[in-house]
Amino acid sequence: MKSEISLRPATLDDVDALTALSYKTIRQKYPEVIGSDAVEGYIASGAVPKYYTERNAFLWVAELGEEPVGAVAIKDNEIHLMMVTVDHHRKGIGEALLEHGERLLFDRFETIELESFRDNAQAVNFYRKHGWQAVSEYPMPEVGIPMVRMEKQRISR
């Protein structure tokens, strides 16, 4: 499956597709992690299309054929966002996105970071499997959802 995955820089033409992918994934995956009210509040806030429109991070899209199935965004030394639609989990897409983001970041930084919902065991375990280490836990400001900050060190070349 991994060989069928293509990655490309996102454009403003991707906003609607990435927003739909995000809403689908958030509604399927995150009620068990942050609760249904928080999910619907986040979706209603308009933050998702705003994020993709402003593209305040460098964003890449994963496609199978011409279907967007995931995205990774980097900002500063951080994997700022990573998402794969639920019906495409465990097909190598997340791994391809993470490796791509890591490669871009390690070209500029010795230590890279990301944050995840602490209770999203699938994501936290995925990152650990790929060499990331938890360095701190804290509540998300204003809403108190438990978060975990993770780091990975560049391996000497």
What are the E-state strand segments in the chain?
5-9, 58-64, 67-75, 78-84, 111-117, 133-139, 146-153
How much is the pLDDT for 90? 86
Higher-confidence position of 34 and 62:
62
Sign of CA dihedral 143, 69, 80, 57: negative
pTM of the model: 0.89
Q: Burial of 9 by CB count in 10 Å (0-12 exposed, 13-18 middle, 19+ buried)? A: exposed
Q: What CATH number has the domain bearing residue 106? A: 3.40.630.30
How much is the pLDDT for 3? 58
Domain presence at residue 129: no
- Bridge-partner residues for 75, per DSSP? 78
The answer to whether 10 touches 59, Cβ cutoff 8 Å, is yes
Q: How many domains does the chain have?
A: 1
Domain that holds residue 96: 2-110
Domain presence at residue 147: no
Least confident of 12-26, 46-60, 69-83: 46-60
Domain presence at residue 56: yes
- Report the share of the chain in percent with pLDDT over 70: 96
Assess whether pLDDT exceeds 60 at residue 1.
no
